[in-house]
Chain A
Amino acid sequence: MARMVTTRRKAISTAAAWLVGFLIFFPILWMVLASFKTELEAFAIPPSFLFFHWTTENYVTVQERSDYFHHALNSIIIAGGSTLIAMLIAIPAAWSMAFSPTKRTKDILLWMLSTKMMPPVGVLVPIYLIYRNFGLLDTRTGLIFILCLGNLPIVIWMLFTYFKEIPKDILEAARMDGATIGRELIYVLTPMAVPGLASTLLLNLILAWNEAFWTLNLSTLEAAPLTVFIASYSSPEGLFWAKLSAASTLAIAPILVLGWFSQRQLVRGLTFGAVK
């Protein structure tokens, strides 16, 4: 009896999970489908789900009108660069807070997180003016800098929770076993921290890749990443759904592939290590 209840409950929750998953995925699916429609069909009501005239002309037009690879390269440099720099700063910071905390450690962490509570638009004007005066507008350096700073609190916070999970005892055991600090780091600490480092890196990469507020406001063409590339299909001459969809599909493709291959790390990252 109890067994029947649990199987049924399991079936229901599985179905519910699939439903939620589908609901979340549907807009993306719809976008990909729309990218293969003609502009007219993309508008059509009632919309056709699969039975339309499949075409790749949108992709051709998009590539003709704007240089996808230029923007993709910018995205890679900006997301990659800001993530790398954030990690380099965050690792020692989280490290020292996790392993030699002081009375103020908790406050510092909260303060860092609190910077994420203000809407970025609140500092848009000052940042814009600073960037203008320093010649950082529409430069990759400028975008790397702002995205790095924007994500730093989250990266430090995540790494801190991971490092915190590593029991101090184990490090002390290594010390008792005759390991020097260097060897303790290489043989004991790093192997235990790698999953945490990897998922933090991935999550930060995705956040930086998709960041649209600063990239849209601080770049126009030269340094513009894929977010700007997408946005360019949504204004002046009205909306072109099919082309916008094609551009968006192109923009998310690389990160989607990356995400697909690193699902496990990502789940761990997003749940802060709660799932093992």
Chain B
Amino acid sequence: MGQIRLQGVQKSFGPVHIIKGADLEITDGSFVVFVGPSGCGKTTLLRLIAGLEDVTGGAILIDGRNVVDVPPAKRGLSMVFQSYALYPHMSVRGNIAFGLKMAGLPKDEINRKVEAAAATLNLTPYLDRKPRELSGGQRQRVAIGRAIVREPKAFLFDEPLSNLDAALRVQMRLEVTRLQKQLGTTAIYVTHDQVEAMTMADKIVVLNGGKIEQYGSPLELYEKPANLFVAGFIGSPKMNFVTGDLAKQQGATTIGVRPEHLKVERDGQGGWHGTVAVAEHLGSDTFLYVDAGPLGMLTARYVGELDLHPGDKVSLIPDPARIHRFDDGGKSIRA
């Protein structure tokens, strides 16, 4: 079991409030991603759950039990650090076995479990190597092995893939997701990369400035962002925002349209007119950065190749069903 509930969790370092009251319910077996810009408090929130930092206020319940006064060793969680934090003086075997040794398991059981974990992660040939004799990707696997072998209530990941190169990152992303589904263990995963968040999560927590902006499934966040921040943070390229009269006509302070919901027409009638400033041709997609005069720069995405070049006049027609409206405070207006 691994159900985690946060109730009004707060954290300050001295006079600085870093986490300003977080309420969250994480169901057993789900994969939850904390995403947000750098410095928004993701790591801090994760460390509070781990017990590596003490809360300033609020409660953290694991399977119904408040653990704020329980030391990290006794919370039954395991963590994968951004730096991997492997024990440099121990072999891969020693690293993976350490937690089991601390739990006082018999030797043969430890060996059996370590070997099973190593097999799952393709680490068997490296069991007797030291961490410094491994590549970045292999170290990453050892760190994951160390986390899974203890069969914890939940895994905590702090940007575990950020030190890997792009290709390896995509591969490990898949592996981590697959492993988590296979084990059925609750996972909390911290990243600043919204693509990672969208692809891996069952549910995403969007954090900004120490506050939870929205909690929901990836598609919920994409289709019904709660506010301007979430709308701008989720989705790539970013959502276009337009203010002024055009927004007022829709009964909003700001309206937002995603690049993929703007239809591009050459010198067409209606819509928003502009001039192509930059055109990116990826073959599968064409991204257009359009100077739309008073509306500012707008981004449009066209699936497939579109033969347009800087200087070309275009009109962009927003899909009326996909226009997001926001009020003065940046909150979404739902019809």
Contact = CB atoms under 8 A, between A and B. Distances in A.
Counting chain B CB atoms within 10 Å of each CB, the highest count among A169, A177, A191, A192 belongs to A177
Given A169-B83, A183-B102, A187-B98, A175 B88 contact: no
A262 B102 CA distance: 34
Nearest to B143: A173
A92 B9 CA distance: 34
Chain A interface SS verdict (over half): helix
A174 B73 CA distance: 8
Interface string A148-175: 0000000000000000000101101111
A180 B50 CA distance: 15
Contacts, number: 56
Interface residues of B, number: 22
Given A192-B88, A192-B89, A178 B83 contact: no
B43 to A, nearest CB: 11
B79 interface: yes
Interface in A159-211: 167, 169-170, 172-180, 183, 187-188, 191-192
User: Interface residues of A toward B: which range?
Assistant: 10 to 19
A179 B85 contact: no
B85 A180 contact: no
Interface string A1-33: 000000000000000000000000000000000
Nearest to A177: B99
B79 A176 contact: yes
B73 A180 contact: yes
Given A178-B73, A179-B73, A180-B73, A173 B85 contact: yes
A173 B103 contact: no
Contacts of A173: 79, 81, 85-87, 146
Interface of A: 167, 169-170, 172-180, 183, 187-188, 191-192
18 contacts: A169-B81, A169-B85, A172-B72, A172-B79, A173-B79, A174-B87, A175-B52, A175-B73, A176-B79, A177-B78, A177-B98, A177-B99, A177-B146, A179-B73, A179-B98, A187-B98, A188-B87, A192-B88
A-B pairs, 10 with minimum CB distance: A169-B85, A177-B99, A173-B85, A178-B102, A191-B89, A178-B73, A176-B79, A175-B72, A170-B85, A169-B81
